[in-house]
Amino acid sequence: MKNILLTLSLIISLISKGQEPYLKDQVHFPLGASLNPRLLESKPNYRTRAINEFNSVTAENHMKMMLVHPEVNRFDFSKGDEIVNYAIANRKRVHGHTLVWHNQVPTWMKEFQGDAQAWEAMLKNHVQEVAKHYKGKVAGWDVVNESFLDDGSLRPSIWAEHIPDYIAKSFQWAHEADPGAVLYYNDYGQDGKPKKMQAILDMVKDLKARNIPIHGLGLQMHINIDSKDEELQKVIEQSVATGLKIHFSELDIAVNPKNQAEFVYDETAKKAQIAKFNLLFKTYQQIPSSQQYGITFWNVGDQDTWLRGYFKRPKEYPLLFDENYQRKGAYDELLKAIKHVN
């Protein structure tokens, strides 16, 4: 009751001073967003929301292989550095994304020629050069991203093909380069896919048994309003049971997953989305604080979502801010829900 009164008092105080109460100030864990440096520079409202609403930052794309290591002997940290410098200037944590992925790989890596030893040296150099560059500036890394298929098998990739045990080696290399960074395995779609989830749990168990440094699991949480609550909760419970830190790392909640041209973002869809946001935040708050790394939204406003760009789904509204970067009803409902938990 005391905590509830304190929270209400803070909200009332902010309102009386003409200030909006911020969600990040009501939760006891970092609240983040993935950011695009071009949007930070070109859209004042985007930048204002990013500064005011979040205390953790992930580079949406500009630390990925294709952009940061475009040529065999050339790294380009310029855009990633813009994100880091923005975060430092505004006193925000930085989470690195991602060191090893099967996607967004530069052409020269795809065409690389050599034996297993040469492939290993190439990937090790990439992982360690990037991790060393951001050492002391990045709190954690998604070391390996999306390595398992829905059936639990290892995803076919140039890394799986050419480097035996590449997941374990990548974690070891990252730790050597930056011993202070919190290291994550990051993946999506585990809910309703028990074989995929079990493969991830088996990987964690194996790495731990070999004293390979893995510290956390990133649950991307690219979900939709039809995602089943019990399946989401089961995945979260299984992840927490590993004892690792848990990051809801790429959160968005799609409202039009079938990409229906006639879709209307009406009150029914909004209420379903609000219910999912409330479920995830409530469940996350129940995770032991020592395992809470934070919740990160995958961008800021609805117009910036990758669902509209990459998937070409123009009638998607998956985030907490609308096309004009105004708070949606889901934001206010989360504030109300959280004050009852604190």
Mean per-residue pLDDT of the chain: 94
Q: Which residue has the higher pLDDT, 188 or 13?
A: 188
pLDDT digits (tens, 9 = 90+) for 133-162: 999 999 999 999 999 999 999 999 999 999
Q: Residue 296: is the preceding peptide bond cis (ω within 30°)?
A: no
Question: In this prediction, what percent of the chain has a pLDDT beyond 90?
Answer: 92
3-class secondary structure per residue, 152-205: CCECCCHHHHHCCCHHHHHHHHHHHHCCCCEEEEEECCCCCCHHHHHHHHHHHH
Q: Please confirm, yes or no, whether 250 is among the known catalytic residues.
A: yes
Among candidate residues 60, 120, 250, 316, the one labeled active-site is 250
pLDDT digits over 232-241, tens only?
Answer: 999 999 999 9
Q: Is the pLDDT of residue 35 over 60?
A: yes
Q: Does domain 23-341 have CATH number 3.40.309.10?
A: no
Q: What is the pLDDT of residues 273-314, one digit of tens each?
A: 999 999 999 999 999 999 999 999 999 999 999 999 999 999
Judged against a pLDDT cut of 60, whether residue 6 lies above it is answered with no
- Is 20 catalytic? The answer is no
| pLDDT surpassing 70 at residue 2 | no
> What residue spans define the domains of the chain?
23-341
- pLDDT at position 338: 85
- What local confidence, expressed as pLDDT, does residue 212 receive? 98
Candidate list 60, 82, 146, 316, residue with the active-site label? 146
